[in-house]
């Protein structure tokens, strides 16, 4: 019982780390995607004029 509880705690800690890393990665890629879209819109606007 105690061993199982210990493994469970370790798993939860790892899961929390993975989730926080995923959130950070997602935010990072969202920023890049946002910047790329803004650049493309600016480029399209220049082509239009």
C-alpha triplet 24, 28, 32: angle, nearest 5°: 170
DSSP 1-49: -HHHHHHHHHHHHHHHHHHHHHHHHHHHHHHHHHHHHHHHHHHHHHHH-
pLDDT for position 2:
65
How does pLDDT run across 8-43, given as a tens digit for each residue?
A: 899 999 999 999 999 999 999 999 988 888 888 888
């Amino acid at each position: 019982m105690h061993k199982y509880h210990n493994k469970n705690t370790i798993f939860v800690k790892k899961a929390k780390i993975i989730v926080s890393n995923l959130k950070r990665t997602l935010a990072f890629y969202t920023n890049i995607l946002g910047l790329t879209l803004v650049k493309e819109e600016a480029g399209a606007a220049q082509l239009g004029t």
